[in-house]
Amino acid sequence: MTRETTLDSRQEILRTAARLFQQRGYDATSMNDVAAALNLSKGGLYHHFESKDQILFDLMDGAMDITQRRVVDEVRKIADPEQALRTLIRLHIDVVLSVRDREVTVMLHENHPLPPALRRRVNKRKKEYVHFLENLIAQVQRGRNSRSAVSPRAAAFALLGMINWIYQWYKPDGVLTGEDISREYTTIFFAGAFG
């Protein structure tokens, strides 16, 4: 079996929990609910996860793993900064639109209270991604001798907002396909909406 089709029980628990959290709300979903949905005993569930917080943290951490593997690792292989940035936009949008990953990645953006130590670990990884993107944008600006008044920091947040917001409005049967979004968002980010 390929890595993509292998699901160990830990991952199965995470996906089921993510689905329940979205259907019923995080707070309203108990460890009992998660165990019942999986036909697991409560002891069986606690064998894998010591608490609901731990499940939420693992979901968020797993979403960052997906971003690392499917976006950052691929982009790092590309030497030309502009080509790397265009690829990042396309691959990050692919992750957001992936049906398979959506139930996991959407958890990153919901405002659920996590214990401070776990929250800090998730935020650290989010910040690393922002800095990676910010650095790439700065390289493109230098390569173009751009006199842009836009700071790499603001540009990074603007781009992440455009892309991460897609899950709020995207419909698979809507007029805008994933390819449309990739192409048009790249144009907007590089040349504006009226370029």
Which residues of this protein are in contact with a copy of itself, per CB under 8 A?
22-28, 106, 109-113, 130, 137, 140-141, 144, 146, 148-151, 153-155, 157-166, 168-169, 175-176, 180-181, 183-185, 187-195
Distance CA 86, CA 188 (A): 12
For residue 109, what are the contacts with CB-CB under 8 A and spacing of at least 6? Answer: 164, 167
Minimum CB separation of residue 137 from a copy of itself in Å reads 6
Beta carbon nearer to a copy of itself, 48 or 61: 61
Distance CA 23, CA 79 (A): 42
Beta carbon nearer to a copy of itself, 48 or 166: 166
> Per-residue b/e over 162-172, b at no fewer than 16 CB within 10 Å?
bbbebeeebee
Distance CA 150, CA 144 (A): 14
Minimum CB separation of residue 41 from a copy of itself in Å reads 25
Distance CA 62, CA 158 (A): 24
Q: Give CA angle at 160 (123, 184), nearest 5°.
A: 165
Minimum CB separation of residue 37 from a copy of itself in Å reads 17
Beta carbon nearer to a copy of itself, 9 or 23: 23
Of 65, 63, 60, 160, which is closest to residue 120 (Cα–Cα)? 60
Distance CA 195, CA 192 (A): 5
Beta carbon nearer to a copy of itself, 2 or 111: 111
Minimum CB separation of residue 92 from a copy of itself in Å reads 12
Minimum CB separation of residue 80 from a copy of itself in Å reads 15
User: Within its chain, how far is the Cα of 108 from the centroid?
Assistant: 7
Beta carbon nearer to a copy of itself, 70 or 183: 183
Minimum CB separation of residue 81 from a copy of itself in Å reads 11
